[in-house]
Structure 1
């Protein structure tokens, strides 16, 4: 059954009482055929390939009854849809989606990178860590120049120096063993077919290729992405990638071993170590030894009072990814601090936008959260949590004490707190550029759900292409400087085998009273991921918007510096009001890539409401 179209909701209506518009899925549905043992199998069909937009394209929102998949490219979403249609699980669908994303959205994620995955079977949440690791030969001085000063960002990124040991495939393999239903090999078939038969270059990929200053310097990438005239391939060009298909066929047959050992692993290492100006230290031993980790999800309560938006008091459990990601802690701190300020009961303004008063409290809470993030958060195998528990940073009394620091005037730059009378032995990490990533949210018909944020870090990663895929530059998520000026070490410095701090924030939300899943969400966007995700949680659960309406809201943030507002999305009166409160305000592009799926009811029935970011090419599909 294809989803049915409904009338567009009024902005004041809530997901629990209205269906969002559903775009009829013109893409082909999967064919299913029983296997010899009667289990369902996937018979993938390449769909029509509509062209998305690289700018801002209004999206109506979607509603489905049985299952839903939200991803950053229509071809990737369709691959996940066909898997779910064939009876696969959310985990099965995520694998198919990721392999297609690595082909059609190579600038953001792929088998040369890593990922964080949250999986829920009912109310049981598991966290799968496929984050890249620093090579065994890496030292804390990896990004220091001869004069002892840190390298500039792209000086460090471009080449082999920034490449960490990839972990996405090995992590997905582990998760599939525990939560998959369809055969592993069949889940790679959509990407294999698309790679062999070709996919159309999208407007976004074309635009980013044209804007990038470094990718064409790599001979392999130049031959693949650019024409003989040196210009990026035009929109709609059918692009084939037989090398990627060959690697995927090997992974389909032999699992992650085909990537982490043998000729593919050797090719990766040769590429990294042979860069003419910026070689790295990755080894075949690093690849062979890489292991994903299962961690305890970071879950905490979010209690919301009745507010001026007409919402009654309600309680949720928010589950996110623990360190080495800073996302869940920072999102939880921001929302928790807001709960101890007047912002907790504020409504959206008459124009449907966050008010200047609410934004003041939000950006101040953000400064406080990012100050703690800079001091404390790093790989937990190397750095101890304050007081031995990361939840100390989310303790309600601690957040209340932090909220008391917020006044009528902006603090401009906040200082870290100390939640557990903890003897701090590190210096805060200076803010660094973060980019990239892609997000996937899926709910299946079997009672499972997931949120996975996946990345090669910067746009096109290290700009090193091998065997049809790009290598990550994840090591630049470490602090470039290992120590502060006084010699105090920085928690997130480079160390052998260490996983760099991340801002990825895959999030699953549950109703506190019933334990029922109510939301899966996340976004790309570097450090801004934290704010994009917090905005969407606040919009849906705090203000009662549909996920699409919440995603459509203009973006806003502070990384413990200026207040950042999405350009041309806020009235001048809001900007001036924030400045009057002492904040430095900058208006700039804040290109999120949010995906969200929420549970709601309408006409006495339960539906999944889906939203995809109008700033990118993503869509939602389901039945």
Structure 2
């Protein structure tokens, strides 16, 4: 029961936090969980005005673009999963950024050698065609009830009135001082004399408010065509650098923006211990990797095992799934991914046989899913690769009184994206193109129009045909392990969704060591020491992810769950009757 006492203490600490954000809330009606209190309140404002979950999700997302600008915004892209209660079906909207038309497999090479990842990020070369506004438009037009102008009002208000810089905003801004210091437009917005804005500073972004107004007035064309589109192209191709600073430039065109399309895709469907799970399809690798790892774990009775052994198996299943994910998964429009084989329960049984119940065996090689394909696809058998994938994104989730649900993960990639604020527009551009492998052969090499592989994993779970829970997180490739571990904690280890989300995270992505959090003081804990007896070793990072979820309870209530500590703590609100 030691872990329950720790989680209770964490949740209590969060409840007493200075800005009174509430990480867990239960009640009837609509509900929202985000990492920002302003964003959660924006969603609730729309729900109270008669909007549905899709309307509220876009309102929350636009507000996050103001309050959490280093993680997300209209200069990026994402994946939205929608459950339509009326139709009883799940829809996914892929609005991942695409490579501009000038891209080729060698775009990140110079003289035959790969450019250093850190050198590629703060440049125009790293910027993909933004998909966020097109994705919002698809969601509102097809499944919402309100206009752009209506749902952007809360974000406009927050951008104009401003908010006081909190410690987490300052922390991330401080990490970006060198990158932001390269660009005039970014420095003027986020820095003061070259340093991050101090805690307590009133931060306002009137340029972003005006950008939202333009989108509200002109709709999706107001972003992808005309003056706003010209501003984006100019910022990519001639970045607004300070005197004496030189960066790589892009070759984006107005046609790249005008031709951008969001995709409606069939979700990844799988099952786990009586739950039906819906995950994000390619170019996300999340749905496939989570399903494969859980399929592997289904071969073991985790509930009958000591907790330490169950966690050992979780880590080993994640290792195997990542070996396959790294080798095979990319944009399905450009490569034949062995999707059926990777999702096969029979293939999972074969992979499970490689797990030792008592010992960690180190890095795994990819398996061979092709015999389980049941088709005539020609196998591509590349060596696994894992390029750097920043851990900086955001996730939100909303439901309404009618039972519609949105689980939405969107991003600009690295903290602060490319570091380029579009002059006069108030938003940062993504560095999503650095999610490609910089050389091949590999399924995830750059190509014109291609979407780089992602780990974003908005997930919905159903039981007996009814919604059971939603979960999603930021965190680069740790998104996959965060979602998976939360599911294992909740379904197998018997934690409430709030406890499962707050628990210390362990991210094994087929590396020599498992990544853990210094924030929750995992290393040296009894939990860590018990796992070390199985051969597990650790590398520390400050924190992993900033997840949000919903739990649909048997009594008809809904519980919204956000972070108690990570990313400064999140905000969960349930609509009042």
Q: Is the 8 A contact 2:102 2:448 kept in 1?
A: yes
Number of the residue aligned with 1:306: none
- Match status 1:252 vs 2:252: no
> 1:587-598 to 2 correspondence within 5 Å?
587-598=540-551
> 1:368-383 to 2 correspondence within 5 Å?
368-383=320-335
1:500 & 1:244 partners in 2: Cα distance? 27
Which of 235, 248, 255 is residue 278 of structure 1 equivalent to?
Answer: 248
2:526 & 2:494 partners in 1: Cα distance? 25
Q: CA deviation at 1:452?
A: 0.5
Number of the residue aligned with 1:445: 401
Instruction: Map Cα deviations across residues 207-258 of structure 1 (whole Å, 9 max, x no partner).
Output: 111122311221111111112x322112222222121111111100111111
Q: CA deviation at 1:505?
A: 0.3
Number of the residue aligned with 1:178: 142
Instruction: Map Cα deviations across residues 440-468 of structure 1 (whole Å, 9 max, x no partner).
Output: 11111122001000000000000000110
Q: CA deviation at 1:169?
A: 0.8
Q: Report SS of the residue matched to 1:244.
A: helix
Number of the residue aligned with 2:290: 331
- Match status 1:412 vs 2:362: yes
1:244 & 1:585 partners in 2: Cα distance? 41
TM-score, normalised by the number of residues in structure 2? 0.90
Number of the residue aligned with 1:400: 349
Q: Is the 8 A contact 1:104 1:201 kept in 2?
A: no
Number of the residue aligned with 2:33: 70
Number of the residue aligned with 1:432: 387
2:525 & 2:28 partners in 1: Cα distance? 42
Number of the residue aligned with 1:528: 478
Number of the residue aligned with 2:50: 87
Q: Report SS of the residue matched to 1:268.
A: helix
- Match status 1:203 vs 2:192: no
2:484 & 2:208 partners in 1: Cα distance? 36
Q: Is the 8 A contact 2:302 2:492 kept in 1?
A: no
Number of the residue aligned with 2:421: 465
> 1:125-274 to 2 correspondence within 5 Å?
125-146=90-111, 148-212=112-176, 213-227=178-192, 229-274=193-238
Instruction: Map Cα deviations across residues 59-85 of structure 1 (whole Å, 9 max, x no partner).
Output: 652112111011111101110011111
Number of the residue aligned with 1:557: 507
1:317 & 1:272 partners in 2: Cα distance? 43
1:293 & 1:152 partners in 2: Cα distance? 31
1:81 & 1:430 partners in 2: Cα distance? 42
1:180 & 1:206 partners in 2: Cα distance? 35
Q: CA deviation at 1:191?
A: 1.0
Q: Is the 8 A contact 1:442 1:520 kept in 2?
A: no
2:453 & 2:381 partners in 1: Cα distance? 15
Instruction: Map Cα deviations across residues 525-575 of structure 1 (whole Å, 9 max, x no partner).
Output: 000000111111122222332221111110002110122232322545544
TM-score, normalised by the number of residues in structure 1? 0.84
Which of 487, 491, 500 is residue 541 of structure 1 equivalent to?
Answer: 491
Number of the residue aligned with 2:562: 612
Q: How many residues align?
A: 546
2:552 & 2:4 partners in 1: Cα distance? 18
1:451 & 1:607 partners in 2: Cα distance? 18
Over 3 Å counting, the alpha-carbon distance change for 1:447 and 1:24 in structure 2 is: farther
Number of the residue aligned with 1:352: none
Q: CA deviation at 1:420?
A: 2.7
Q: CA deviation at 1:185?
A: 1.0
Number of the residue aligned with 2:80: 117
Q: CA deviation at 1:24?
A: 10
1:189 & 1:140 partners in 2: Cα distance? 42
Q: CA deviation at 1:171?
A: 1.0
Q: Is the 8 A contact 2:122 2:247 kept in 1?
A: no
Q: Which moved more, 1:242-251 or 1:333-342?
A: 333-342
Over 3 Å counting, the alpha-carbon distance change for 1:79 and 1:416 in structure 2 is: same
Q: Is the 8 A contact 1:546 1:609 kept in 2?
A: no
2:233 & 2:331 partners in 1: Cα distance? 24
Instruction: Map Cα deviations across residues 36-80 of structure 1 (whole Å, 9 max, x no partner).
Output: xxxxxxxxxxxxxx9659xxx9x6521121110111111011100
Over 3 Å counting, the alpha-carbon distance change for 1:201 and 1:501 in structure 2 is: same
1:445 & 1:245 partners in 2: Cα distance? 30
Q: Is the 8 A contact 1:429 1:479 kept in 2?
A: no
Instruction: Map Cα deviations across residues 313-356 of structure 1 (whole Å, 9 max, x no partner).
Output: xx0100010010011111111122112135353354xxxxxx2x
Q: CA deviation at 1:589?
A: 2.7
1:52 & 1:429 partners in 2: Cα distance? 45
2:29 & 2:306 partners in 1: Cα distance? 32
